Structure 1
Amino acid sequence: MNWLFGLTMLFIGCTQNASDTVISLQLNWTPEAEHGGYYQALEEGYYKEEGLDVEIRSGGSGVRVETETALQRSHFGITNADKLLSVREKGLKIIALLAPFQSSPRVLIHHKSNPISSFEDLSKAKLLILNNTKPFYRFLVNKYPKLKNIDTIPYNKAVFMENKQSVMQGYVNAEPLVFNKKGLPVEVLKLSEIGFNPYASLLICSEDLLKERPELVQKMQQASIKGWLKYLEDPTKGNKAITKLNPSLTDHITESANQLPPLMKSDSHFGDMKLERFEELAEQLIKVGVLEKKPAYDNLFLNP
């Protein structure tokens, strides 16, 4: 019986270890240029060079990246800085490891025929197509109270295309390119230009993973940085991998990737984060009721 018990335990041990050989990265949306550096690292073999077998998982509206990452159902995840602060206040112990987007790509999109040239002019819109539970919307209506009087509906590109007096949320390197390709001239207003500028597409992991496997975290950071730097230089391999998974991007992903360098420009090392940026963001989120109090900044981020 001892040999049978030993064989059984050996089998269990092997299956447990096998489940941990694949390192998972959970995206916050379907594969797009905003995730290009991670796919580039995969295609260039940078993760393998670090001894990592990385699996990138597509996201979507029903995927709770932060919860999956905090519970280590995924080793790593992607989120934005405002979401990071919000879920940490709710008790999720996750930490930011890399901030590719130093400037937020979030914009409000309007038809070129619509006489809007500033955020003050948004009060002329008849419909806002956006998620009115998001922090950026609360920031907007706090700064421009007249926007509270405009009806809102959830994100819907078809409605925006039909309604010339509507304004829609999006990313500067995504939806505007789609509309222009369809022959629908649009213009954008960047939220970063009015002071709402959280780091975007943060690479995150749980505090527990960092404590238990610091070498893994460091390897993931370094390989991901190499992937991003290569993607910004020549995104061909990353784009090919992305469009294979998301063919709808084929017509404009090259242009989308070409718009990323200014958004990722850093005055220090690529992807580094600064405490004062998080402090400013926290103050904004407290003011609009997203956060209840000043967060604890211990274990909030770890620069590569």
Structure 2
Amino acid sequence: MRKTALRSAIGLGTVIAATLALAGCATSTPTSTTTTAAAASAVDLSGVCPATVTIQTDWNPESEHGHLYQLLGPNPVINADKKSVSGALYSGGKPTGVNVEIRSGGPAIGYQTVSSQMYADKSITLGYVTTDEAVQLSDKLPTTAVFAPLDIGPQMIMWDPSYYPNVTDIASLGTALKADGGVVRYFGGAAYMEYLMGAGILDKSVVDGSYDGSPAKFVAAKGKDAQQGFASAEPYIYQNEVAAWGKPVKFQLTNDVGYPVYASAVSVRTGELASLTPCLKKLVPVLQQAEVDYFKSPAATNALILQLVSAFNNGWVYTQGVADYSVKEMKSLKLVGNGDNAYMGDMDQTRVQKIIDIDTPIFTKSGSAPKAGLTAADIFTNEFIDKSIGF
């Protein structure tokens, strides 16, 4: 079963885990393959980017990461042991003169944060870092986001509409749960839940941090309890693939109740932003275009994603139905899109600052204080976004 909790929640004890990871991991060299020279009319990344652009994701292969797998040219090399795939980095159907290696996260990196993995293994060029993770680790493991593949985060809370027919959002769900003795199960320590409680949207008495990614407790509660999940997956999974449930759920995005993180923002180690700038000026528009191309025609890339899931064989279950639903739902819910302008991939300073303002006291209280005086400009930049590329 999908363990979205483990990839989406930012735990309040993350800094300790990150420190241990740095002490116990050694830098490794990514596998590289020979790439044909970049075609004259294609984007040429050779000379400005690393010979292999290594990208660390935050979970197993899935459609939310389709924009990255779209980068791979013909005949990619699958490394089942490393849970990675590599090959020539393509843009617009042509090689760019460098290779790309895409590494799985979650279980493949011991469920540690991408930030800690990026600092433990300096061969990683880019990694997925959600805004609240960037805030929490800004003092010891600073990262800067350069591209936001998701304009709205898919994190949500779901409930049974047949049990709670009058519930329309998370706030009214909280009221109903308190009256009925139900709870919202979530992965303990998640910052967004601390926000929901602090803002008075959910009472502390109705939250339960025992969620482990399994549907068992949700099913056993027969509708009385609610649960966290991803809007781009769980509604389909529970209705179509959890036989013991087999009916619709309703949900509200945590984004829509005032927690507007940029999920899985493509980021660099802050100290390397300047040295990578020549590369990023050319690479970020390639990432933008790959996402536009993927959502225009996702079938081939989704087939690769399913092939990777099968080859990695780590217990992660991901079907064609979920892959197709995810693409459709990400577009329908505007999780991907141009936002409030005509191009995609940029981030809004006000949104980022809001997360800093929300999470700084939360993380400080838990003993993992962000960098003193942290501002939005410290953890993201739109410098490399090509304003001509959008949906």
TM range (shorter): 0.7 to 0.9
Contact 2:53 2:100 in 1 (8 A): yes
Residue of structure 2 equivalent to 1:46? 91
1:57 matches 2:103: yes
Amino acid at match of 1:254: D
Of stretches 294-303 and 199-208 in structure 1, the one that deviates more from structure 2 is: 294-303
Matches within 5 A, 1:282-301: 282-289=356-363, 294-301=373-380
Matches within 5 A, 1:80-95: 80-88=130-138, 90-95=139-144
Provide TM-score, normalisation by structure 2: 0.67
More helix by share: 1
Residue of structure 1 equivalent to 2:116? 67
1:278 matches 2:352: yes
Provide TM-score, normalisation by structure 1: 0.85
Contact 1:232 1:260 in 2 (8 A): no
Inter-partner Cα distance in structure 1 for 2:232 and 2:281 = 29
Contact 1:108 1:168 in 2 (8 A): yes
How far off is 1:99 after superposition? 0.8
Matches within 5 A, 1:223-242: 223-242=286-305
Contact 1:96 1:202 in 2 (8 A): yes
What stretches of structure 1 of length at least 5 have no aligned partner? 1-14
Query: Residue by residue, what CA displacement relative to the aligned partner does 1:222-265 show, whole Å, maximum 9, x if unpaired?
Result: 22111101112111122111111225232221121112231122
Inter-partner Cα distance in structure 2 for 1:203 and 1:146 = 31
How far off is 1:181 after superposition? 1.1
Residue of structure 2 equivalent to 1:141? 197
Contact 2:349 2:377 in 1 (8 A): no
Aligned partner of residue 321 in structure 2, secondary structure: coil
Match of 2:240 among 181, 201, 210: 181
Matches within 5 A, 1:151-300: 152=208, 153-155=210-212, 156-164=214-222, 165-182=224-241, 183-246=246-309, 248-261=318-331, 262-265=334-337, 266-268=339-341, 269-289=343-363, 294-300=373-379
1:104 matches 2:177: no
Contact 1:30 1:246 in 2 (8 A): yes
Aligned partner of residue 151 in structure 2, secondary structure: coil
Match of 1:120 among 140, 162, 171: 171
Amino acid at match of 2:96: E
Percent of aligned positions with the same letter in both sequences? 22
Amino acid at match of 1:46: S
Match of 2:66 among 36, 47, 59: 36
Structure showing greater relative contact order (alpha-carbon pairs closer than 8 Å, 6 or more residues apart): 1
What stretches of structure 2 of length at least 5 have no aligned partner? 1-27, 33-49, 75-89, 311-317, 386-391
The alignment covers a number of residue pairs equal to 289
Inter-partner Cα distance in structure 1 for 2:119 and 2:238 = 37
